[in-house]
Structure 1
Amino acid sequence: MNSEKIFTDPKFVAIIATICCLLWGSAYPAIKIGYALFNISQSDVSSELVFAGYRFTIAGIILLIIAQKCGKSVFNISKKNVLELSLLGFTQTTLQYIFFYIGVANTTGVKSSIMNSTVTFFSVILAHYIYVDDRINKQKAIGCIVGFIGVIIVNFNNNLLNFSFSFLGEGFVIIAAFIFSASAIYGKKLTKSMDVIIITGYMLFIGGVVLVLIGVLFKGGVYHFTMESSLVLIYLALLSSAAFSLWNLLLKYNKVGPISMFNFLTPIFGAVLSAIFLGEKILEFKNIIALILVCLGIWMVNREKISICQNPVKFQHGRN
């Protein structure tokens, strides 16, 4: 079975999309566990950036090695491509994850996973102003409203009387989601002339190196390498390379709507895994209501009446 058949078969599409969302959801507790194992404090922003940089640099190297082994021309890129990849790496990896890693450090894994789901709604809103054939209709508008209501609710306490929102925590996670949505639209354009795996590899590698340099410049560092902490770092790198690549391949061979609909699984996996590995409370009333509304919103803005395999298109805006 060739790649196109695999990535357009409804059964494989559902399995692969679910695996991607599971991997992304697992990143929330994994990052916080990594902070603890490497003794990176919540206030040590520069070390948080070095930690993120190591993760994405390794992930990028893994993808570029795989591309090279598959016979792809990894180093045959023009000066124009270098500039384009550098811009994408800086925005979608460096800039986004500066906000994301700081945000995750200053809030819970459950809240982070729910707040970051706003990437779907930002993508819908930005696409309305950029793509002529991707306007916001009544269903999408309601979906966005429902989703944002869920994001607001998760910041209240259980009796919905007190509002708790940290700009450096929840605020930074939302900013990261917006940056991702905007940069993903730019990344879509590059796929018309470059291989998906190569783009993703360089995006992660360049962005990761810049994160390390910024962190080191501000006296940050990652120490306390043990077998356990090293395995967490390697896991984070592998999940990035695997999830980004698989998701982008799904978007290459299918329409965006039916694929992006699976995004509702990410906050669910993130919240459940945070509860399991971090001992965070997920069964609080406000968390359950927020998860339901966010997932419903994501489903509504991406629901289409066509089948998953009809009219395949190359890269429109989506999770990545």
Structure 2
Amino acid sequence: MAAIQRQMNASEWAMLIALSVLWGGSFFFIGVAVKELPPLTIVTLRVGLAAIALLIVCRVMGLKLPREGRIWRAFFAMGILNNIIPFCLIVWGQTHIASGVASILNATTPLFTVIVAHFLTVDEKLSPNKLAGVLIGFVGVATMIGPSALGGSGSNLWGQLAILGAATSYAFAGIFGRRFKTMGVAPLMTATGQISSSTLMLIPVALLIDQPWTLAMPSTATWGALLGIALLSTALAYLLFFRILSSAGATNLALVTFLIPVSAILLGSLVLGEQLEMKHFVGMAMIAAGLVAIDGRLLRRVKAAG
């Protein structure tokens, strides 16, 4: 396997920031949808609508999904690790904890990823700078949300553990997904294949457990949230996800979870008129420091200049 580049270029950073905005919005969309629909139905609609959108894109572009059995086995495995497990855990978790708490716990993904990558890859080994950067960034996210948000017990505790479980699953998905590049599967095909596989696995389970035909018709706001999370936070987001993964690697890609709370707070301030507090600025500064430490280029330039 060719080595994944360790430093991201300007284009990859731009895609990473865009991805953070798309995924940051998913916590808001979920917060709206869970008020009217059960978690499994939300996840099934999320991946199902996203799969339809991506299949239409493939059809318009004249592209056909691969037919090899080994590729589809990888699609199904990726669907479990990257969609079914984390999506279900996050939606269920957000029935017990606030979206802000979910976003900070989701930001542990890079910490899990650098550890998993160290043991399961040959070109993304753990370095002192990388570990320090991840820890600094995580503390920054914790500072933004505030320590009081992590308190609680009972259902709150289980909700928090669910989000941590999702973060762990994302970490393994990031490592597993690297194989699609060596298989010669383009990012669009990978995104479409794994989201379609997830849909095929989830539909019978949702029909059996939730019996959606017995549920009340969702409101316009809920349908809007479902379309947003499916088309923006899933279909479009995964196009960016696999493009970054194929070129920058799992560890760099995991940095997006640091940026998600930042984008959520900024969007809340600009769109909803929410006020930024000093802890938000301190947290964002620490997150920036963590990203600098992981990227490494600025530190090397400082050392060279000295």
TM-score scaled by length of structure 2:
0.79
**1:314 corresponding residue in structure 2:** none
Distance verdict in 2 for CA 1:9–1:180, change over 3 Å:
closer
Query: Which one of 230, 238, 246 corresponds to residue 231 of structure 2?
Result: 238
State whether structure 2 residue 99 is matched by structure 1 residue 109. yes
**2:147 corresponding residue in structure 1:** 156
Write the distance in 1 (CA, Å) between the matches of 2:12 and 2:204: 38
Amino acid at match of 2:152: S
Q: Shift of the alpha carbon at 1:32?
A: 0.5
**1:97 corresponding residue in structure 2:** 87
Q: Shift of the alpha carbon at 1:208?
A: 3.1
Write the distance in 1 (CA, Å) between the matches of 2:97 and 2:272: 12
Structure 1 residues 249-258 or 21-30, which shifts more?
249-258
Instruction: Check the 8 A contact 2:177/2:245 in 1, yes or no.
Output: no
Distance verdict in 2 for CA 1:33–1:157, change over 3 Å:
same
Write the distance in 2 (CA, Å) between the matches of 1:277 and 1:108: 19
Write the distance in 1 (CA, Å) between the matches of 2:138 and 2:255: 16
Distance verdict in 2 for CA 1:258–1:130, change over 3 Å:
closer
Amino acid at match of 1:216: L
Write the distance in 2 (CA, Å) between the matches of 1:255 and 1:214: 33
Alignment of 1:187-206 (within 5 A): 187-193=177-183, 194-206=185-197
Structure 2: 5+ residue runs without aligned partners?
A: 1-7, 300-306
Write the distance in 2 (CA, Å) between the matches of 1:102 and 1:57: 18
Amino acid at match of 1:235: G
Write the distance in 2 (CA, Å) between the matches of 1:296 and 1:223: 48
Q: Shift of the alpha carbon at 1:82?
A: 2.2
State whether structure 2 residue 132 is matched by structure 1 residue 138. no
Q: Shift of the alpha carbon at 1:88?
A: 1.5
Paired residue secondary structure (1:191): helix
**1:207 corresponding residue in structure 2:** 198
Aligned residues: CA RMSD: 3.3
Paired residue secondary structure (1:224): coil
Distance verdict in 2 for CA 1:32–1:295, change over 3 Å:
farther
Distance verdict in 2 for CA 1:254–1:82, change over 3 Å:
closer
Q: Shift of the alpha carbon at 1:233?
A: 1.0
**2:303 corresponding residue in structure 1:** none
**1:227 corresponding residue in structure 2:** 220
TM-score scaled by length of structure 1:
0.76
State whether structure 2 residue 16 is matched by structure 1 residue 17. yes
Alignment of 1:293-312 (within 5 A): 293-294=286-287, 296-304=289-297
Amino acid at match of 2:225: V
Q: Shift of the alpha carbon at 1:115?
A: 1.3
1:230-267 superposed Cα distances (whole Å, 9 cap, x missing partner):
22211111111111102322343456676665653212
Distance verdict in 2 for CA 1:189–1:223, change over 3 Å:
farther
Amino acid at match of 1:197: L
Q: Shift of the alpha carbon at 1:219?
A: 3.1
Query: Which one of 155, 166, 172 corresponds to residue 182 of structure 1?
Result: 172
**1:128 corresponding residue in structure 2:** 118
**1:56 corresponding residue in structure 2:** 47
Write the distance in 2 (CA, Å) between the matches of 1:288 and 1:171: 27
Write the distance in 2 (CA, Å) between the matches of 1:195 and 1:122: 26
Greater helix fraction, Structure 1 or Structure 2? 2
Distance verdict in 2 for CA 1:23–1:192, change over 3 Å:
same
1:279-299 superposed Cα distances (whole Å, 9 cap, x missing partner):
9887385x6655554554354
Distance verdict in 2 for CA 1:31–1:276, change over 3 Å:
farther
Write the distance in 2 (CA, Å) between the matches of 1:103 and 1:23: 20
Instruction: Check the 8 A contact 1:257/1:304 in 2, yes or no.
Output: no
Query: Which one of 145, 162, 172 corresponds to residue 162 of structure 2?
Result: 172
Distance verdict in 2 for CA 1:185–1:212, change over 3 Å:
same
1:35-90 superposed Cα distances (whole Å, 9 cap, x missing partner):
23xx23xxxxxx2111111111111221122123212222x412222222112112
Q: Shift of the alpha carbon at 1:227?
A: 3.4
Q: Alignment length, in residue pairs?
A: 286
Instruction: Check the 8 A contact 1:196/1:245 in 2, yes or no.
Output: yes
Distance verdict in 2 for CA 1:263–1:48, change over 3 Å:
closer
Distance verdict in 2 for CA 1:53–1:70, change over 3 Å:
same
**1:73 corresponding residue in structure 2:** 64
Structure 1: 5+ residue runs without aligned partners?
A: 1-7, 41-46, 307-320
Instruction: Check the 8 A contact 2:109/2:257 in 1, yes or no.
Output: no
